[in-house]
Amino acid sequence: METFLIKALQLILSLSILVIVHEFGHFIFARLYKIRVEKFYLFFNPWFTLFKFKPKNSETEYGIGWLPLGGYVKIAGMIDESMDKEQMAKPAQPWEFRSKPAGQRLMVMIAGVLFNFILALLIYSMITFTWGDSYLPFKNAKAGLNYSEVAHQAGFKDGDIPLEADEKPLETLTGETVRAMAEAKIIKVERDGKIVEINMPENFMLQLIDKNEKFASFRLPIVVKEASPGQGAALAGIQSGDSLTNINGTPIPDFITLTKVLDSVKGKNANVTFYRSGKEMTLPVQVDKNGKLGIALTPITDIYPLVTIHYGFWESFPKGIEKGISTLKGYVSDMKYVFTKEGASNLGGFGAIGSIFPPVWDWEAFWSMTAFLSIILAFMNILPIPALDGGHVLFLLYEVITRRQPNEKFMEYAQMAGMAFLFALLIFANGNDIFRFFFK
Angstrom distance (rounded) from CA 214 to CA 144: 16
pLDDT at 251 over 60: yes
pLDDT at 153 over 90: yes
Angstrom distance (rounded) from CA 183 to CA 206: 11
How much is the pLDDT for 301? 87
Average pLDDT, the chain: 86
What distance lies between CA 264 and its chain's CA centroid?
Answer: 36
How much is the pLDDT for 187? 95
How much is the pLDDT for 11? 87
pLDDT at 145 over 80: yes
Give residue 348's pLDDT band: very low, low, confident or very high (50, 70, 90): low
The mean pLDDT of 204-210, rounded to a whole number, is 83
The mean pLDDT of 92-107, rounded to a whole number, is 86
Alpha-carbon distance values, 284 to 247, 248, 269, 270 (Å):
10, 9, 6, 5
381-435 pLDDT tens trace = 898 888 788 888 888 888 888 888 777 777 777 777 877 877 777 776 667 666 6
Helical packing angle, 316-334 and 102-131, nearest 10°: 120
pLDDT at 17 over 90: yes
* Cα three-residue angle 201-207-211, rounded to 5 degrees: 150
Give 273's contacts (C-beta < 8 A, 6+ positions apart): 244, 245, 246, 247, 280, 281, 282
273-332 pLDDT tens trace = 999 988 999 999 998 889 899 899 999 888 998 988 899 999 999 999 999 998 888 888
Phi, psi of 43, rounded to the nearest 5 degrees: 70, 165
Least confident segment among 34-43, 96-105, 314-323? 96-105
pLDDT at 440 over 90: no
How much is the pLDDT for 133? 87
pLDDT at 82 over 80: no
- Among 374, 371, 375, residue whose Cα is nearest residue 123: 371
Quickly count helices (H) and strands (E) in the chain.
15, 18
Claim: this prediction has a pTM higher than 0.75? yes
The mean pLDDT of 6-14, rounded to a whole number, is 88
How much is the pLDDT for 223? 92
Alpha-carbon distance values, 275 to 222, 241, 373, 397, 402 (Å):
11, 9, 45, 69, 77
350-370 pLDDT tens trace = 666 777 777 788 898 899 999
pLDDT at 107 over 90: yes
Percentage of the chain surpassing pLDDT 90?
42
